[in-house]
Amino acid sequence: MKKVILASLILMFSGIFEVVKADEGMWLPMFIKRLNYVDMQKEGLQLTAEEIYSINNASLKDAIVHFDGGCTAEVISSQGLLLTNHHCGYSAIANHSTKEHDYLTDGFWAYNKSEELANDGMTVSFLDHMADVTDKVNEAINPEMTAAERKQAIQTITGQISAEASEEGKYKARVSSFFNGNEFYLFVYKIYTDIRLVGAPPSSIGKYGGDTDNWMWPRHTGDFSMFRIYANKENQPATYSEGNVPYKADYHLPVSIKGVEDGDFAMIMGYPGSTDRYLSSWGVQQKIGVEYPAFVASRDLKLKVMKKYMDADATVRIDYSPRYAQTANYWKNRDGMIKALTKNKTVAKKEKIESDLGKWIAENPERKKEYGNIFDIYKKYYETTNSTIAGDQYLMEAGLMGSNFGIFNFRLSQKMDAIIKAEDEETSKKALEETNAYVDEFFHGISLPLEQELTSKMWAFYYKNAPIEQQPEEFVAVVKEYNNDFDALSKAIFETSIITNSEKLKSVLANLKDESTADTLKNDVGVKTYYSFIAKYFADMYSNPEKVALKDELDGAKKLFVKALRESNPDKSYYPDANSTMRLTYGQVMSYEPKDGVEFKFYTTLKGVMQKEDPTNPEFVVAPKLKELYESKDYGQYANADGTMSVGFLTNNDITGGNSGSPVINGKGELIGAAFDGNWEAMSGDIEFSKELQRTISVDVRYILFIIDKYAGATNLIDEMTIVK
């Protein structure tokens, strides 16, 4: 009877929280040998576990970097050459673009290292090593602590661990929480800050299909760009200097031009940003019913205003393209998640898991004592916050971030605080110089007419949709003062406020410590209105005792839920949610059937680019030279055996945002592509992995090399790679 019960339990929990196929899971590299290596060998891996992740020897991990804090890139030459996505390098490409040299439209290529372009503030981080510090953290806490005491104790001990591991600044170290606070791991990084733009195709290749094709398959986008790491003469991190030299890589990925076939082994290493696979049924329902619709509606309006001005002015288009792309990406993502989570009946699946776990808990008095209140806490939290979560989204997306001046005002207030609190004249002077530089940088790429209309439209939208009792009192008062005329309010801000005039603002900054300045700031309509959203956000997040207590209670329940789930099925391997730490996912090159009667091949070709061409639509313009190469079939060594030119391919790897630019690697450890997107049918992936539908969309490395070689003529870059034929 006990065997029957055990078998039933195993079946019970073989759902969305547990790995049942090699394609699901974002695994920590240090555990690959223990948890996944045998399965990976069966799938086609020919490397040893030590060749994937090693502390003592060069391994694959040493070729994978966290790119500029939000994407992934891979080292593909001994001279520090990096490959990532076009959309990951988009801001850098835009920053170097002008009307005269529009690299977004025309592309950019450095035909020698002297032509490579520096990027102020850009970083890449190499993972030196990671370590389990769960026991050290747990020693610093005890069950008698309040939630606030526990948080403070964890913050203190993780800070101490990180400081010790940094070796007085040689490394950047941080401790991250896993499995909702059940485990803690230390990550130690070496960070390089001299990163230079090397190459980027025109947007007609790198962004082909635009918003229309975003998250869609079939896909025909050459989504890649190239950078190079520079170091000092000792190969160590250094700020930009003409004397710096290309980084000598510990390890770089060889590049395969043999192509891929359906069923081939494929693994991806990178830095996935965030998933919520252990989210409760109540949490899913809140997202699809309240939170995400508010998010989508806010960003939809913002995109329309931005596009109006971008279409009318080339300079505005260049300056705002990165902002627009970032806004549009998650606007479509959230819309897709609403549809996918609903269609896939994710709430019902979560309810089934919770019901089964509840039965397991009820079978044992000790379990009931430890875990018995989990679901009551879930229910209480979401019933309480369902009435406020939409307002929170409107506050963030339409209020605080409606105009770019919202975030600008937030960051400016922090810098002003540093000036005021400076204890000596030298420190104050330095803080003022940094603040003035920040002001100049911000205003350099800002369209005041666009921002004025954004302010008017987004604030009107916020005032109409957010419950009035949840809105900042200062904001409501100002709206009344202007008789609910948001155009008049916005006009007044952009005509009179110091916050929208760089010269006035810098004059005030120079006299921040004067008594009269406080009155100037207090009475400035722009300052007080923008700041009202900031104050409201932080008051709700950190100062509202009821909200803080409710959130602390939820966090405790989430920790117990994951602990119970793992205890209920101890023979299974579980993976933690993504949190911008290095992960590995493995699976196969694979086609799929999104619906009855429809089958998608695992690859696309250049023929599809030509079939989608629409000269009247900027998202589907084809560069004349690319058409010439297609018509002459001049693909060189990068063509398929049948003479076609592959563009993209599919795998069933488990990725999310942050994996953009991640290398797709074959069983021999060779680069075969760069991951850049997921598919529309599985937009629920951050919350629920769908083993039948989940696909990763990657640009074929052969298409990348074809564009570099045949389209751009940048053979200097081809020559420094290790090409495997």
Q: What is the pLDDT of residues 55-108, one digit of tens each?
A: 999 999 999 999 999 999 999 999 999 999 999 999 999 999 999 999 999 999
Of 500, 528, 543, the residue that ends a domain is 543
Q: Is residue 135 part of a domain?
A: no
Long-range Cβ contact pairs of 4-12 (< 8 A, separation 24 or more)? 9/360, 9/568, 9/569, 10/569, 10/571, 10/572, 12/356, 12/360
Predicted confidence band at 116 (pLDDT cuts at 50, 70, 90)? Answer: very high
Position 35 scores a pLDDT of 87
- Tell me what pLDDT residue 2 has: 36
Whether 261 is covered by a domain: the verdict is yes
Look at residue 425 and tell me if it is in a domain. yes
203-242: b (≥16 Cβ within 10 Å) or e: bbbbbbbbbebbbbbbbbbbbbbbbbbbbeeebebbeeee
pLDDT of residue 512: 84
**118's tokens:** 């520096």
pLDDT band at 694 (very low <50, low <70, confident <90, very high): very high
pLDDT at position 7: 38
pLDDT, position 307: 96
Asked whether residue 646 falls in the same domain as residue 522, the answer is no
How far apart CA 254 and CA 75 sit, in angstroms, is: 9
pLDDT of residue 520: 83
The confidence score (pLDDT) of residue 517 equals 82
The β-bridge partners of 246 are 230
Distance in angstroms (rounded) separating the CA atoms of residues 633 and 643: 8
Angle among Cα 593, 594, 600 to the nearest 5 degrees reads 50
Contact 371, 361 (CB under 8 A): yes
Q: Do 42 and 109 belong to one domain? A: yes
Segment 23-39, tens digit of pLDDT:
799 999 999 998 899 99
Q: Is residue 650 part of a domain?
A: yes
**CB–CB of 272/657 below 8 Å?**
yes
Same domain, yes or no: 585 and 649: yes
Of residues 23 and 22, more confidently modeled:
23
pLDDT at 541: 83
Ordered DSSP codes for 128-188: EEEEE-HHHHHHT--TTS-HHHHHHHHHHHHHHHHHHHTTTTTSEEEEEEETTTTEEEEEE
Which of the 8 DSSP states describes residue 242? T
Which residue's structure tokens are 């060779």?
A: 670
The pLDDT of 481-491, averaged and rounded, is 97
- The answer to whether the peptide bond before residue 202 is cis (omega within 30 degrees of 0) is no
With a cut of 70, say whether residue 617 has pLDDT above it: yes
Mean pLDDT, range 410-427, rounded to an integer? 89
Q: Are residues 219 and 321 in the same domain?
A: no
Q: Which residues are catalytic?
A: 87, 223, 660
* Residue 14: pLDDT over 70: no
pLDDT for residue 467: 96
Domain that holds residue 401: 281-344+387-543
Residue 87 has a pLDDT of: 97
Distance of alpha carbon 347 from alpha carbon 279, whole angstroms: 10
Domain membership of residue 83 (yes or no) is yes
**Mean of pLDDT values over 233-253:** 97
Residue 260, domain member (yes or no): yes
Instruction: Name the pairing type of β-strands 723-724 and 255-256.
Output: parallel
**pLDDT for 6 beyond 50:** no
Q: What distance in Å separates the CA atoms of residue 27 and residue 25, rounded to the nearest whole number?
A: 6
What is residue 64's predicted lDDT score, i.e. its pLDDT?
98
In a domain, 2, yes or no: no
* Residue 95, both tokens: 């920053």
Average of per-residue pLDDT across 665-689: 96
Residue 21 in this model has a pLDDT that exceeds 60: no
β-pairing, 183-192 with 124-132?
Answer: antiparallel
Does 677 score more than 70 pLDDT? yes
Local confidence band at 5 (pLDDT 50, 70, 90 cut-offs): very low
Q: Read off the pLDDT of residues 492-501 as tens digits, 9 standing for 90 and up.
A: 999 999 999 9
User: Which pLDDT band, with edges at 50, 70 and 90, does 287 fall under?
Assistant: very high
What is the mean predicted confidence (pLDDT) over 604-629?
97
Q: How confident is the model at residue 17 (pLDDT cuts 50, 70, 90)?
A: very low
Total count of domains within the chain? 2
Specify whether 80 is located in the same domain as 119.
yes
pLDDT for residue 18 is more than 90: no
* Residue 567: per-residue pLDDT: 97
> Is residue 285 located within the same domain as residue 271?
no
CA distance from start to end of the chain: 58
When pLDDT is cut at 50, 70 and 90, the band that residue 542 belongs to is confident
Mean pLDDT value across residues 216-235:
98
Residue 188, CA distances (Å) to 29, 131, 184, 575 in order: 14, 9, 13, 21
The whole-number pLDDT of residue 540 equals 87
Q: What is the CATH number of the domain that holds 82?
A: 2.40.10.120
Residue 375 in contact with residue 725, Cβ under 8 Å? no
Q: Which of 522, 543, 564 is the last residue of a domain?
A: 543
Whole-angstrom distance, CA of residue 1 vs CA of residue 626: 68
Contacts of 418 (CB under 8 A, 6+ apart): 431, 435
State the chain's mean pLDDT as an integer. Answer: 94
Answer yes or no: do 80 and 25 share one domain.
yes
Q: Looking at residue 8, what is its pLDDT?
A: 39
Confidence band, pLDDT 50/70/90 cuts, at residue 10: very low
One domain, residues 399 and 305: yes
Same domain? 399 vs 319: yes
Q: Are 291 and 202 found together in one domain?
A: no
Angle (CA) 276 281 283, round 5°: 55
Tell me the pLDDT band of 420, cut-offs 50, 70 and 90.
confident
537 occurs within a structural domain:
yes
Comparing 11 with 109, which gets the higher pLDDT?
A: 109
Domain boundary pick from 527, 543, 559: 543
**Within this chain, do residues 248 and 291 fall inside the same structural domain, yes or no?**
no
User: 288 and 255, same structural domain?
Assistant: no
Q: Are 280 and 354 contacting, i.e. CB atoms less than 8 angstroms apart?
A: yes
